[in-house]
Amino acid sequence: MNTLVATLGTTWQVLPEIFAYTNPGAAPLYEHSSAAGDIQEERKDYGLRPVQSLWIITTEGGIEEWQNLCQWQQYLPEPIEMRCWYIKGIEELFTPGENRAMADLIYRVALHARLHTRRNNSCLYFALAGGRKTMSAELQQAAHLFGADALLHVVDRFAKQEREQFNSLSFQSLCQPLPKEFADSIRPLVTNGDLPGNEALLNSFQELDCEFEERFPLPGFGDQQRFSIESVPAQDDLHAWVKERQKRAEALLANYRLQVSAHEKLGNFRALYGLSPQTVEKLRQTRLGCDQHKQEQELAWLRRLPKAELHCHLGGILDSAGMIRVAEAMADDLAAEDRRNREFAIWRRDMETAIRSGNIPYLKSLLPGGSLSGKPLRDNFSVTQPLSVAALLYAFRDNPQLLDSLLYGVYQQPSQFTAVGIESYEELGNLQGSGLLQSEKTLRAAMAELGAICRRERIGYLELRCSPLNYVRGDLDKDDVVRILVEEAERIEDCDVRLLFIASRHRDPEQTKEHIELALHWFDNSKSFRERFVGFDLAGAEHAMQPAAMREYFLPLHERVVRMTIHAGEGERAENIWEAVYELSADRIGHGLTLKEYPDLIDRFRDRRIALEMCPSSNRQIRGYYHPHYSPQEERKYPLSSYLEAGLRVSINTDNPGISRTSLSEEFLTAAQMTPGGLSAWHILQIIRNGYQAAFCGQEQRRSHLIEAEKKIIEAVQDGAIE
């Protein structure tokens, strides 16, 4: 039987108010309430079930109220079990001794109820609305100690006279729908749902087995009577025993936390160490990425977790459908160009005809070089960029699957999209990035797509890498680009989006210098930019220019203490990583895949807390690392696990989620799959924390993000860790 445990004071009507919340069919008090729909939804959300048993705790002075309850229940459609326990000789609570005796009785009833409902696989609810505040406080404490399926409460906004009128209602009236004015003045609610209780404490009672009944008896417990009232002598042996066990448990828990943290080279969210040892061990033992049949279940759990994204390129965020949506922002401009440029209009019409009919050879004949590459399209028809690229993408608006097939070809199969090399990988992004983002409309639309990604993936903090000079081939200048990026970053809700400028080794060094000057100009002249801009990145072919040769260009950034992240060790020698740290003062390294070849540098990374930004999917797609489902060459092991074992601050990122056909949640699962033996849920949470800790935002913002993420992590774990 589902059981409701409640304390009772001088107002018996509180119990029908709570009972009507759990049992609307038997006592539909709130049927006419303006909040009836919300009450029903809350009941459904918390999985509240009708109760068949009321266990009441009161003083000797509350016996009359108990008798009123007994009369009230006679008007219910079906009788329910009602049991009452009171302390003999205590009319009301006043002295410390009387309050300790009441605490003992509350613990005694709550504990018996918990063990009883566990044995019968039924629900247990505690009602906090009756009796003195000390009684409700002790009942709430008992729920946290012994566990409950929900804590229930009821509040009202009656004036004194209205409360007197309500209390004068007949017993029968409190089994029927209340008049609307009364129903609107009472609001039942759940204050806590699914309290697991202190497992160590419950195990202590279960170990006592039958001794428990003898040592801490509850008169009348276990008999078959449906109605009973029992007096209990004033005592506090159970209350004292629980307090002593709590002290012991706290000491053992503190020792356990020390043992857990002592074996870790890198810590986890602090609140996790406050969870029960059973929960911590479950997180440490549960491994993700080992069973393909659990992939969807594991992804669902990963999507619930808050995350930080530190390595994401603006030019690679869009998938095929996203590119079409961004191109759609140019629909009016395309129509206007059609009216001005007949040749362009005919080309668009012929393209759309080819796509509708599925005539791919004809479509390719319409494209410069017969390719979907964005570069030849840029000079087509002498139109303002990005009109030609937008026209091509917009033509696929009714068939995004075809666009995806033409762009990726065999790479739609993950087993084929492996070890393709950096050139082939980057070609997949030619239509987006500098191909499409050459107007204010497309740039703003792309940032809106980024916001949707952040919401979908529960990304609370993101650092977006961009090269503003790459987006000035249309009607924008470099300052326009910066202004738009800052405005759109500020507009994204529920995610703190920051900006990193990025220069390329393989480009003219003067362009690197121009990017640095642009960043410093805005840094000196715009408060909103200073609040969004957090660092500078150097990317591109590592062999094109060594870090030492770039040092002079970066000195102005070092003078302003701008943080640095450098792409290094993605496929080249480990010495590039060393030079990035020592020549360019890198605070983080992008990829760092060859760091494993340099053990001494690994020690330096750990000691200086230099973080690594790893991107599992793009690393596999470009370089070809082991993946049990797609690239099973075991000799090409991904170095993530060795970096974690060394205590390095590793984060997981997407790199180019659109190009890599991935999301941040999927990257965590991919990282686990690419790690022999998988990653534990504990490691996953540790890596998430690494991402927030390695963020380039200020210390106070970083601390705030960590606290907020920690709250969400605890909620996700307590709601049910991944099985």
DSSP state letters, 79-100: --EEEEEEETT-SS--SHHHHH
pLDDT at res. 707: 95
* 217 & 312 share domain: no
Are 30 and 174 a contacting pair, CB within 8 Å?
A: no
Mean pLDDT on 120-139:
88
**pLDDT tens by residue, 548-563:** 788 888 999 999 999 9
* 703 & 602 share domain: yes
pLDDT at res. 274: 80
Would residue 180 count as lying in a domain?
yes
Would residue 331 count as lying in a domain?
no
Would residue 649 count as lying in a domain?
yes
pLDDT score of 124 more than 70? yes
Domain ranges, residue 499: 307-318+399-717
Would residue 100 count as lying in a domain?
yes
Residue 525 pLDDT level (bands cut at 50, 70, 90): very high
Tell me how crowded residue 600 is: count the other CB atoms within 10 A of its CB: 8
Please list the alpha-helical segments (H only) found in 560-663: 575-584, 599-608, 616-623, 640-645, 657-660
pLDDT at res. 134: 85
* 225 & 312 share domain: no
Total domains in the fold of the chain: 2
Task: Identify the sign of the CA torsion 567, 573, 576, 579.
Answer: positive
Domain end (from 236, 265, 282): 236
Would residue 420 count as lying in a domain?
yes
Half-sphere exposure of 581 (CA within 13 A, CB side): 19
CA distances from 100 to 111, 201, 233 (A): 16, 20, 12
* 197 & 311 share domain: no
Would residue 245 count as lying in a domain?
no
Residues 494 and 453: their CA atoms lie apart, in Å, by: 11
Mean pLDDT on 123-138:
87
* 227 & 87 share domain: yes
Q: Which amino acid is at 490?
A: E
**What's the CATH code of the domain at 141?**
3.40.50.10770
pLDDT score of 93 more than 80? yes
pLDDT at res. 330: 98
Residue 241 pLDDT level (bands cut at 50, 70, 90): confident
pLDDT at res. 207: 55
**What's the CATH code of the domain at 551?**
3.20.20.140
pLDDT at res. 494: 94
The answer to which of 18-32, 392-406, 500-514 has the lowest mean pLDDT is 500-514
Are 536 and 567 a contacting pair, CB within 8 Å?
A: no
pLDDT at res. 462: 99
Please list the alpha-helical segments (H only) found in 674-718: 681-693, 699-718
Mean pLDDT on 269-287:
88
What is 596-615 written as a DSSP string? GG-HHHHHHHHHHT-EEEE-
Nearest to 198, CA basis, from 147, 138, 253: 147
pLDDT at res. 128: 86
pLDDT at res. 9: 87
CA distances from 627 to 384, 631, 645 (A): 44, 5, 20
CA distances from 687 to 259, 392, 718 (A): 20, 40, 19
* 167 & 311 share domain: no
* 311 & 222 share domain: no
Domain end (from 204, 221, 236): 236
Would residue 275 count as lying in a domain?
no
Are 496 and 534 a contacting pair, CB within 8 Å?
A: no
* 558 & 663 share domain: yes
Mean pLDDT on 521-545:
89
* 311 & 179 share domain: no
- Give the best-scoring range by mean pLDDT among 94-103, 133-142, 448-457, 506-515: 448-457
Q: Taking all residues of the chain, what is their mean pLDDT, rounded to a whole number? A: 90
**pLDDT tens by residue, 399-458:** 999 999 999 999 999 999 999 999 999 999 999 988 999 999 999 999 999 999 999 999
* 232 & 311 share domain: no
pLDDT at res. 267: 87
pLDDT at res. 632: 72
pLDDT score of 529 more than 60? yes
Mean pLDDT on 670-682:
96
- DSSP helix/strand/coil, 548: helix
Share of the chain above pLDDT 90, in %: 66
Would residue 503 count as lying in a domain?
yes
pLDDT at res. 543: 66
**pLDDT tens by residue, 153-171:** 999 888 888 888 998 999 9
pLDDT score of 215 more than 90? no
Are 108 and 232 a contacting pair, CB within 8 Å?
A: yes
Mean pLDDT on 183-190:
91
Mean pLDDT on 280-297:
93
Contacts of 25 (CB under 8 A, 6+ apart): 50, 77
**pLDDT tens by residue, 44-73:** 989 999 999 999 999 989 899 999 999 999
pLDDT at res. 476: 96
Mean pLDDT on 500-511:
85
**pLDDT tens by residue, 630-675:** 877 766 899 999 999 999 999 999 999 999 999 999 999 999 999 9
pLDDT at res. 262: 62
Task: Identify the sign of the CA torsion 262, 265, 267, 268.
Answer: negative
Domain end (from 236, 253, 274): 236
Higher pLDDT, 375 or 290: 290
> How many residues are there in the chain?
723
Residue 567 pLDDT level (bands cut at 50, 70, 90): very high
pLDDT at res. 547: 77
Residue 161 has which token pair?
Answer: 């006279």
pLDDT at res. 145: 84
Residues 204 and 107: their CA atoms lie apart, in Å, by: 15
* 178 & 312 share domain: no
Residue 201 pLDDT level (bands cut at 50, 70, 90): low
Mean pLDDT on 336-365:
94
- DSSP helix/strand/coil, 184: coil
* 632 & 553 share domain: yes
